[in-house]
């Protein structure tokens, strides 16, 4: 009698637990300020960007990759040379976010760590190119022009990688001792 009751209880628990576990692994959440890209083992990265909410997926076949689409700050620092061959250390603060519609392409071509791969490289490239056009004194007296030129060039370069730059500002500019 006790064995029959124990079997019924075990069967009831399994009959409840298995569907609940299947539902749990089939659901994923996309929070506010985030978007998801789905990778399927059969078809690869899907072109549709998934918005906020709770969504279904096929367990063990599909995997969601969550991207933060809110504006985030990054700092880029580089040592470069000026037109008069002085060493200049320049630091930028960049506010950026990805182009939402381009998230599948970003994931496919750059990966989930796209910001760490792209922004420092293009930031260094642009800063070195712009700073090399100015003498040390001009970097101080024409700071707005230098900042604007960096902003324009960096925004154009970042758009090639589907990054939107909301704000770019020079936060630090240091020179070698004999240049100050």
Show pLDDT as tens, one digit a residue, over the chain (180 residues).
Answer: 677 776 776 766 666 666 656 566 679 999 999 999 999 999 999 999 999 999 999 888 999 999 999 999 999 999 998 888 899 999 999 999 999 999 999 999 999 999 999 999 999 999 999 999 999 999 889 989 999 999 999 999 999 999 999 999 999 989 876 544
Q: Which helix (H) or strand (E) holds 142?
A: none
Q: Which helix (H) or strand (E) holds 40?
A: strand 34-40
- Residue 156: closest CA among 110, 132, 125, 117: 125
Helices (H), the chain: 2-25, 103-109, 114-131, 136-141, 143-159
By the 8 A CB rule, do 98 and 78 touch?
no
By the 8 A CB rule, do 153 and 123 touch?
no
Residues 6+ apart with CB under 8 A from 174: 88, 89, 90
What is the model's pTM? 0.80
């Amino acid at each position: 009698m006790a064995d029959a009751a124990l079997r019924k209880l075990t069967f009831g628990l399994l009959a409840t637990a298995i569907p609940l576990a299947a539902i749990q692994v089939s659901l994923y959440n996309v929070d506010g300020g985030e978007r998801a890209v789905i990778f399927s083992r059969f078809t690869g990265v899907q072109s549709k960007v998934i918005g906020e909410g709770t969504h279904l997926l096929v367990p063990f076949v599909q995997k969601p990759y969550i991207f933060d689409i809110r504006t985030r700050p990054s700092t880029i620092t580089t040592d470069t040379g000026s037109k008069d061959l002085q060493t200049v250390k320049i630091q930028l603060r960049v506010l950026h976010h990805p182009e939402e519609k381009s998230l599948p392409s970003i994931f496919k071509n750059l990966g989930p760590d796209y910001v760490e791969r792209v922004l420092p490289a293009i930031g260094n490239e642009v800063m070195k190119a712009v700073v090399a056009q100015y003498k040390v004194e001009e970097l101080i007296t024409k700071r707005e022009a230098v900042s604007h030129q960096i902003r324009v060039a960096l925004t154009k370069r970042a758009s090639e990688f589907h990054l939107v730059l909301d704000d770019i500002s020079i936060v630090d500019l240091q020179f070698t001792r004999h240049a100050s």
